[in-house]
Structure 1
Amino acid sequence: MRRSAAAAFTLLVLTMSACAARNQAPREVSASAGPEVSASAGPEVGASAAPEGWRWESYGGIEIAVPGSWGWANGSQRLHAWCITRADELARPVVGRPGAVATVGCWVGGSPDPITLVRKTGQLVTFDRTTEPPGMRQEGDQTVVLRDGVMITVNAPQEVRQRIVGTIRRVDVDSYGCPVEHPIGLHPQQRPRKPVDVASLRDVASVSACKYEVAGGSGSSSPRLVSSLRLDGSAAAGAVREIAKAPVGAGPNAPQTCLPEVSYGDEAIVLLVRSAAGPTEILLRYDGCDHNGFDDGVSVRTLTAAAVAPLIAGPNVVFNFSGPQEKLPILRPS
């Protein structure tokens, strides 16, 4: 789970982490929210197709297929704060990743434990890091799979649960073209290895948006892929054009609000762009109190809502961040 914890459960939860405000809005995201993203791998990725009508979700080197209609949520909140989840939220199946949890004590224990029951948590798949040995356990409507340092929790009716669990697989590069590990995880200050002015990119074919943990922020000594999506064709070209429109100059930043060692935040997104210039990278830093912006290796451009939006849709939705409130309408638009 992320190192920060929410102090209150409101539309916006402000917390303090190493002198930096962590902002959380716990609303869930439907599968239809935001721009359309690719749900199957392109030919350059070479991954097997998900079952018809399903899509792949990846985390930390593990991929799992889920029904394409499932949305996304703060997995920690949905699973561990089940007693304050609204009925309309429970009705929406979701895929969740680690996030801050409201300080509310939901009852645990008994047989079966409420946290294992669909009527308490709704249908969900959640990911988290774990140090437990590989294995599997089942209780109520829940199956927990421990594999390669990842805990996958599946709460669903038996038939659906078994089908989902049966798709779990290990990957080095996921179905959207994102490597499980990237140097930015251990070296958040690094710049793209092949500098190319984003405004010069032509014939953009696809953009893989790969979200990674960042060492120092996440607390992990082996930061890994958190989530990913891929834009293809006109959607990819449009995303690159919006980045090129953003003004040169980093931000929004507020370096005075946090310690330098955590100023990059918990996460960063690496954009793998495929265009006439060949494979290139753009680094999207958004999570910390400082160093925010799009870095193509030539210059750093300011975060804008239009440029950021397609890259933080769906599985890459941002639930927590540090830094100035000016980032709220960019990262958590209403």
Structure 2
Amino acid sequence: MTEGPEHHDRAELAMRHAQARRADDLEPRQLVVGHHGGRRMTILGVVAAVAATVIVAAAVTAVVRAGQEGTRPGAGATPATMGTPAPEGMRSVSFADVEVDVPDTWIDDDPPRSDWCADGAQFTGPDQPYVALDAGEVMVAAIACPDAANPPGFPEEPVSTWAPHLWFEQSSGGVDGTETFAGWTLTTRTVGEVTVRLLTDEATADDVERIVGSVRRVSVDAAGCEPTSAAQAREFVRPPAFDVTTVQATEISVCSYTRTGTEQPGLLGSHVLTGDDASDVLAALQQAPAGGGPNRPGNCSPDYTGTSVLVLRLRDGPAAVGDLIVYSDSCYGNGADDGTTVRALTLDSCAPLWGGRVTWPGGDGTTLRVCHPRR
């Protein structure tokens, strides 16, 4: 089943964002493309992101070398300060160059899937307030559930599957304001090129003003991530060089970007590792073997470089000490790069990076085993 063009309006900002955290069951099954209220959801194969192609070894070697040598500079200048923290009882979520504060009890999760009516459907949406993980790569049953005929702008699934939530869209020139339907209220606010939509019920009505009132454009989000990074380039790039084995870091900002080019903000989500979590990841990065990987270049086309990238911003107290660029969703060019050495992704250095609004984009089975192992 193929989505119509009206469901692809967010492709330039948010294509290929992953739904890998539910990939524990990898048995072959019939898949279709799903959608939710204009949020694009496509299928990215876990075993190979594109059709496997037999390629000449010499060509592969040249491409891999280009990926490791890369283009400089990559992540750009590293700011020494974080963004503005959320007020007490709130947390900040960001997309592109827009940030919003939501109650800290709101979780991050997927909206209902297009196969909500399937017999024995395993996921019909959260049952508590949440921030939608947009443009997720989801596996759904090959079934066309009936259209609920809800008003434009509201989720397309039946009201019975709804929960209060917030989601981001690329602006399509619509009108901001408030609409009501079946006891639910939809509040829309557009800032720049991003539209924020907030669906609330009677229990969450008091949250609307403080959430919508917090919508703002930022140059650095609360996690310390910039809206645009040179790492968004479609080709492999390298960060300003430092040596990760010689530094200390008390926290790591994990910034996820779509690789659709650097012409517009591409931040998909962010979170911060602190304390033992940051120390353990840093130690794993420092101990990882040089050379990059895991790679299996025979599994994809030589011009396929992946669709997303992580920038890891290392900080020691308030001081930024360097950025690493992490590629993980191609079948070559994978690794964590400090601009001096490209190191292999390992279970301890890759798996802990994904969390909150930073989700693994899928990729070759070799990276699956170290970046999203079966729990």
TM bucket (normalised to shorter chain) is 0.7 to 0.9
CA distance in 2 between counterparts of 1:250 and 1:171 reads 33
Q: Where does residue 354 of structure 2 map in the other structure? A: 312
Report the Cα distance in structure 1 between the residues aligned to 2:117 and 2:353, rounded to whole angstroms. 32
Residue identity opposite 1:19 in structure 2:
A
Q: Which residue of 1 aligns with 2:206?
A: 159
Taking the aligned partners of 1:274 and 1:174, their CA distance within structure 2 comes to 15
Report how far residue 45 of structure 1 moved.
1.9
Partner of 1:19: 51
Cα gap change, 1:111 to 1:273, in 2 (>3 Å): closer
Distance 2:86 2:115 in 1: 31
For residue 55 of structure 1, report the CA deviation from its aligned partner: 0.7
Q: 1:311 to 1:4 in 2, by over 3 A?
A: closer
Aligned mate of 1:254, from 296, 312, 337: 296
Q: 1:209 aligns with which of 243, 254, 262?
A: 254
Larger Rg: 2
Q: Which residue of 1 aligns with 2:75?
A: none
Q: Secondary structure at the match of 1:316?
A: coil
Counterpart of 2:312 in structure 1 is 271
Give TM-score, length-normalised by structure 2. Answer: 0.69
- Using a 3 Å threshold, how does the CA distance of structure 1 residues 117 and 171 change in structure 2: closer, same or farther? farther
SS in 1 for 2:330: coil
1:284 aligns with 326
Cα distance between partner residues in 2 of 1:236 and 1:252 = 22
Deviation at 1:135, TM superposition (A): 3.0
Aligned counterparts of 1:71 and 1:199: Cα–Cα separation in 2: 35
What secondary structure sits across from 1:261 in the alignment? coil
Matched residues in 2 for 1:88 and 1:17: separation? 26
Give 1:166 shift: 2.4
Work out the CA distance in 1 between the residues paired with 2:260 and 2:287.
30
Change (3 A) 1:215 1:250: same
Counting only pairs closer than 5 Å after superposition, residues 230-249 of structure 1 correspond to structure 2 as 230-249=272-291
Query: Could you tell me whether the CA contact under 8 Å between 1:114 and 1:120 is conserved in 2?
Result: no
AA of the residue aligned to 2:300: C
- The CA distance in 1 between the partners of 2:320 and 2:161, in whole Å, is 49
Which of 206, 217, 236 is the equivalent residue of 1:170? 217
Question: Which residue is 1:57 aligned to?
Answer: 93
Distance 1:149 1:250 in 2: 36
Asked whether 1:99 is paired with 2:148, we answer no
Evaluate the alpha carbon distance shift between residue 189 and residue 144 of structure 1 in structure 2; reply closer, same or farther with a 3 A threshold: same
Shift of 1:114: 5.8
CA separation of 1:259/1:145 partners in 2, compared to 1, >3 Å: closer, same or farther?
A: farther
Aligned to 1:191, what secondary structure does the other structure show?
coil
Q: How many residues are paired up?
A: 300
Give, in whole Å, the separation in 1 of the partners of 2:224 and 2:267: 11
Change in 2 beyond 3 A, CA 1:132/1:332: farther
Q: Which has the higher contact order (CA 8 A, sep 6+)?
A: 2
1:279, CA displacement in angstroms? Answer: 2.6
TM-score (structure 1 length as normaliser) = 0.76
Equivalent of 2:365, from 303, 325, 328?
A: 325
Q: How big is the shift at 1:182?
A: 0.8
Rounded to whole Å, the distance in 2 between the matches of 1:14 and 1:266 is 10
1:90 counterpart SS class: coil
Q: Is the 8 A contact 1:214 1:223 kept in 2?
A: no
RMSD: 3.4
Q: What CA distance in whole angstroms lies between the structure 1 residues aligned with 2:316 and 2:251?
A: 7
Report the identity percentage.
27
Question: What is the deviation of 1:183?
Answer: 0.8
Report the CA distance between 1:58 and its aligned residue.
0.5
Q: How does 1:29-108 map to 2 (within 5 A)?
A: 44-45=81-82, 47=84, 49-75=85-111, 78=112, 82-83=116-117, 89-95=125-131, 96-101=133-138, 102=140, 104-106=143-145, 107-108=147-148
Aligned counterparts, 1:129-144, within 5 A: 129-132=170-173, 135-136=176-177, 138-140=179-181, 141=184, 142-144=186-188
